[in-house]
Structure 1
């Protein structure tokens, strides 16, 4: 499927590094919106798919940075982002004055601040703009985007954010986006664990699981997990919209930051250990709602409908 007829409508060339479960649909949405997109990924297959869709292929992060106006990264963790930015053929080596780097990964706020300083030394700007909404949000362009960095730079890139997301918020200086994302994950994981415990409890007590979900969704317990995941959870469908291993990584960021800033995070620490158990039991590639399986293991039962 080619979109070349739209390619030069926008006059802004975008580099997109990290074409994974989230990055690939986000990059496709930018192509659909008429942007020239140069993609790079550690494995080649998603790059080939992007080229077929109307994008171009970059040879390295440096090559991408040399060919575009704005570089977007959507990568698994702090270590990978640091490598992609700082290695010999990384973004820093190819970035030039006046450019913007938008990191949409979820990484440590302090790492973000350090990378932003390095990019600023090259006369370029960085926004940390982590995302929430899972694979569906990435495909539909309805992500929640939390951005840190210079407000004028944020405003300049609003056209891109509006293609990829629905709720776009400037949260403060560099690092503030990552801090907000940590807050997001604290609440999301609490929902996932809470709903899991409720469903396993309902199963053991002999209640109708679908009725329980219907009954509590409309009241004070109503939340994203009940609306978007509970019906799949009781079918044992844990196909990933967001990997449990990424939730674990995000909770490590939150608990580490809690140490750093002297904030007790008692509930988050429990969620952290439960997601660690997802990893150690080989379920890291399940959806983050799959944490229910750990609760089921502890209870010696499965909360399923026939």
Structure 2
């Protein structure tokens, strides 16, 4: 059994499989979630449960949070009965949520006041990457502290990059989301174009996925759009949220992101039209509606 006890706060679509991977690797894990069902599943798998973030932190040597947005991270880490209240000097928090870079920096500064280390470590790879332990992890934090927790990161991910000081992990993830969302959206445009032009979208997809377009987005997301499979591995609403943070940060840092602004609006429409809890590929439905409600997957 590994020496570090890990408190895991946020046992959602990504967090629960990551916590299970830690248990499989021999780490004692104490989990907390706002709803009880995932905690019960973790306990059944061999972990322990905690009633509050503070309790999870008090029982742990390092706390991992995996939460939906900036506001929740601030509340869960810094609020009453939050993670910070259960930590001792020299312990660490690894936030694997995707949040605003300035918020990550603020949380790091607040925890530093009580001599607690903070690493922002957002991930890419979706639910399948969380389950398989093959995530890409982008880490902002003190280099020595990151090195001290390499064992944890290597249990959860395959591509692990130390990006710099606290906040740089979130900046890197924002760049990732700008690129990935744009690729998904323009792939959706191509498939709708093929349908409208009378070509078979599946045949077009097969042809272009073997050429210069090949890659994870084409293989993973493109096939789902062709098949009409939008079961969530990563919610469209989360992509909309991530793009909101990325655009807000780009404005603060003076970076032009014109294409991302358009993609952001299309994801906003995806959410507002009732598809936010579907996979981020559901953005194709907005484009389908623009041309009369066609269905690329069925050919109608």
**Counterpart in the other structure of 2:54:** 62
Report the secondary structure of 1:286's partner residue. Answer: coil
Q: After TM superposition, which residue ranges in structure 1, 4 or more long, deviate above 6 angstroms?
A: none
**What's the TM-score, normalizing by structure 1?**
0.96
Report the secondary structure of 2:175's partner residue. Answer: helix
Q: Determine the C-alpha separation between the residues in 2 that align with 1:50 and 1:73.
A: 15
Asked if 1:116 corresponds to 2:108, the answer is: yes
Which shifted more, 235-244 or 68-77? 235-244
Measured against aligned partners, the alpha-carbon deviations of 1:132-180 in whole angstroms (never above 9, x if no partner) come to 0000000000000000010111111110111110000000000000000
Asked if 1:270 corresponds to 2:255, the answer is: no
277, 284, 302: which one pairs with 2:295? 302
1:47-196 matches, cutoff 5 A: 47-196=39-188
239, 244, 255: which one pairs with 2:247? 255
Measured against aligned partners, the alpha-carbon deviations of 1:25-59 in whole angstroms (never above 9, x if no partner) come to 00000000000000000000000000000000011
Task: Report how many aligned residue pairs link the two structures.
Answer: 298
Q: Tell me, yes or no, if the aligned pair for 1:191 and 1:223 is still in contact at 8 Å.
A: no
Q: Determine the C-alpha separation between the residues in 1 that align with 2:149 and 2:191.
A: 42
Q: Determine the C-alpha separation between the residues in 1 that align with 2:81 and 2:291.
A: 50
**Counterpart in the other structure of 2:18:** 26
Q: Determine the C-alpha separation between the residues in 1 that align with 2:187 and 2:78.
A: 41
**Unpaired runs of 5+ in structure 2?**
none
Q: Tell me, yes or no, if the aligned pair for 2:224 and 2:281 is still in contact at 8 Å.
A: no
Cα drift, residue 305 of structure 1: 4.0
**Unpaired runs of 5+ in structure 1?**
1-8
Cα drift, residue 223 of structure 1: 3.0
Cα RMSD (Å): 0.9
